[in-house]
Amino acid sequence: MRSILIKYKLVIRFILTFVLVYTVLTMGYKIYLSNSDGSLYYPDYATHLVANQTENLLDGIGYDALVLPHETEPSMKVVINGKFVARIIEGCNAISIIILFLSFVIAFADNFKTTFLYCLVGSIIIYAFNLIRIVILSAGLYHYPWRREILHTVIFPLVIYGTVFILWMIWVNRFAKKKKVNA
């Protein structure tokens, strides 16, 4: 048993670190959500921010957009030219995806400064891609509402998870090469 642990030490360390970081960040996010009463920023600050930025970007590209709190559920309604096209819920704010990204990167961490900077830049890229994804999805649903299912469940998840995967590959390949040089 000891020889197996020694042989797979790096894999075991990766898995344990990933699970630990993911659990801590997810629990922290759940605590944040449970303490968001929605009185100032509905339904929570991060989702509210994404909704307002979506409205600003849609307005910036020529749509008459309006984002309003949903009357019966914790979400924000996206209205384009008077037509309700989408809801922005807590899951649309990219925080859960960023937590997944951070957990993977930290599990492969090399040194603090590089890891911290990559986590920061990667999180900004994911957030920005997510925001662009919501804007394009909203405009797409305005023009092509019959394509809702493929836009929302296939194309746009592929964009955001594809971005995360590419960032992970850059991270792993960069540090895999560095470790080979040091070995």
* pLDDT in the model for residue 61: 96
- pLDDT tens digit string along 69-87? 998 899 999 999 999 999 9
Per-domain residue ranges of the chain: 2-40+93-182
Rounded to whole angstroms, the Cα distance separating 130 from 96 reads 12
Band (pLDDT 50/70/90 cuts) for residue 39 is: confident
Rounded to whole angstroms, the Cα distance separating 152 from 11 reads 35
* pLDDT in the model for residue 148: 87
- pLDDT tens digit string along 105-160? 999 887 899 999 999 999 999 999 999 999 999 999 999 999 988 988 888 889 89
What does the pLDDT average to over 20-24?
Answer: 98
> Is the CB of residue 103 less than 8 Å from the CB of residue 18?
yes
Residue 145 neighbours by CB under 8 Å, 6+ apart: 85
Instruction: Calculate ∠ Cα 15-20-21, nearest 5°.
Output: 100
